[in-house]
Amino acid sequence: MSSPYVTCLPANTSPSAIASVPATASQSAIASLSALACLSAAAGTALAAPPTASATTAAACKGDNGGIALSPGFCATIFADNIGHARHLVVAPNGVVYVNTWSGRYYKDDKPRAGGFLVALQDTKGTGKADVVKRFGDGVAQGSAGGTGIQLYNGALYAEVNDRIVKYALEANGIAPTGKAEAIVSGMPLTGDHPMHPFIIDAKGNLFVDLGSATNACEVQNRMPKSPGNQPCTEKETRAGTWKYDANKTGQQFSPQQRFATGIRNGEGFAIDADGRLFVTQHGRDQLSENWSDLYKPKDGPELPAEEVMQLQSGADYGWPECYFDGFQKKLVLAPEYGGDGGKTIGLCAQRSAPAAFFPAHWAPNDLLFVTNSKFPAAYRAGAFVAFHGSWNRAPAPQGGYNVVFQPMTSGKASGDFVVFADGFAGAVKEPGRAEFRPSGLAAGPDGSLYISDDVHGRIWRVTYQGAPAAAKVAAAPQPKTHTTSSNNAELPPEGVHPDAGRQTASLTPPPGVTKDQLALGDRIFHGEAANATCAGCHGSDGRGSPVGADLTTGPWLWSDGSLDGITKTITQGVPRPKQVGGAMPPLGGSPLKPDEVKAVAAYVYATSRKKTH
């Protein structure tokens, strides 16, 4: 089965061979970029972008575009920075940018910024940077944890706060609202894997809100190997779908009766196109190969299922949890929890609604935007922008996403290859725990600008087109500049080097009864270089954790006494109900580890947790 996304080839593969790798499913543009990235990784150096029009444009941009690479003709400024974990954002007709920020377990319970979780930003000097920053709304003192969703409608600002959506009246000449918020909808679920509530309001005042699933695939035991799906999946009565309310009415309560569409695992990004069609993104399910190793090969885990953009219709079912979208076969197939056989059987999925567009697995589409403003280049008004937050669960393969893409669309369907519009957010390391920035929200300004938010440090970029909008053509961004360099294979000594030379295991002390070779094996397993292990996907390649995996370099130990035997037992048994982080760990981390491999990786975790820093 050939991949539509192009995977990396061996280090000695020639450029011409890489260029000849087949790509399907409307992914040829990104495939060529992926091939260049793979060749760069194999050589150990960053490939410079070829001299194209983008190089000339980049020279014309003032500064470094806030550290990101953009499609030809576009430039960026850092509009705001360090405002908190910025999620979605909107821009008012007067140019004021409103941002919702979040907090809590997903961000390791770090300390939120002082004041309210909502932020108003204004550039009064025309510099491309906000010189007015005002926080408002409820803060920690009022019991708020912030939120994701935020929208403008009929002269008011609507925002998600904990389990409700509230409304603030906007003053004609003001920036931040001064009055109290009114509750529009209350009582939305906050438990489980996807507790956020992004939403959108159409021109008629219909408010559509996402209620993400509480589980990965409605299993009897969430994320555990071979756990069957609940029959029926009663979770869908209150989760995994879109609910519809009236934006003009206060005091509404969440209930199953307002469900508009179902079978949507985690629909974080809503958008309405120029013809009034409503769309939503979907984060596809996880752990097919990890939990069903008898049906899927290790390579299937990182590459299945596809991420999706779906056109929403009243009463439609988009497949979750019984189905998932296979980007290779380009169809919905039956999930293993509901009798699936590794992607062969379609079954009831023939009656489910397929996506309008699809993308590489696990990239995590966090927002969606159609730009309809005539001041924006026409070529980029014929499609949708998608902000990909970036993957954690493509391990042991390289992580993906951490970018913004443009998907051409016609009559509500994908009509060509998507291109990477903005890249370089993650910096040197594409991992959730180590990425410098992660795209989270998109918004269009009245002056033809585009805004991108980040929820790591709270940076907002303002992107503008330099030149006549009618002259723009859709093209991919150049390769972003990297912050690391390394030697290529041609520079190695003729006698070669030890495979573990340069690894941090040289500075680690093995626990009693463990040899240096065993510790080195544990290092390779942890980083996915042996046994198809996925440890680094959740815990980070540096072991310092991520939103779904605990920090292994510091205490306290939650499931054992931190001894080698205790760590070995935890790895063997898994962590079905984590105490502090968001991700459950299946036994053996979902990998087919042998006893000696379990001991080796446990030894590596033991040694890493006791590494002395200077």
pLDDT at 612: 60
Residue 79 pLDDT greater than 90, yes or no: yes
pLDDT at 529: 77
- 60 phi and psi angles, rounded to 5 deg: -80, -20
Q: What is the mean pLDDT of residues 168-190?
A: 94
Higher pLDDT, 457 or 52: 457
Q: What is the mean pLDDT of residues 589-611?
A: 84
Q: What is the mean pLDDT of residues 343-364?
A: 98
pLDDT at 370: 98
pLDDT at 503: 58
d(CA 325, CA 328): 9
Q: How confident is the model at residue 21 (pLDDT cuts 50, 70, 90)?
A: very low
pLDDT tens per residue, range 198-253? 999 999 999 999 999 999 999 999 999 999 999 999 999 999 999 999 999 999 99
pLDDT tens per residue, range 500-543? 444 566 688 888 988 888 888 888 888 877 877 888 878 888 88
Q: What is the mean pLDDT of residues 416-436?
A: 95
Higher pLDDT, 343 or 505: 343
> Of 342-351, 367-376, 447-456, 567-576, which range is least confident?
567-576
Percentage of residues in the chain having pLDDT higher than 90: 64
d(CA 594, CA 47): 39
In the chain, the domains with their CATH numbers are: 53-471 (2.120.10.30), 501-609 (1.10.760.10)
Q: How confident is the model at residue 595 (pLDDT cuts 50, 70, 90)?
A: confident
- 406 phi and psi angles, rounded to 5 deg: -115, 125
Q: What is the mean pLDDT of residues 4-17?
A: 33
Higher pLDDT, 93 or 582: 93
pLDDT at 53: 37
Q: What is the dihedral of CA 583, 584, 586, 587, to 10 degrees?
A: 110
pLDDT at 39: 30
Percentage of residues in the chain having pLDDT higher than 70: 86
pLDDT at 525: 83
pLDDT at 20: 31
Residue 35 pLDDT greater than 60, yes or no: no
Indicate the pTM of the whole model. Answer: 0.82
For 461-525, the DSSP string reads EEEEE-S-GGG----PPPPPPPS-----GGGS-TT---TTTTSGGGGPPPPTT--HHHHHHHHHH
Higher pLDDT, 528 or 488: 528
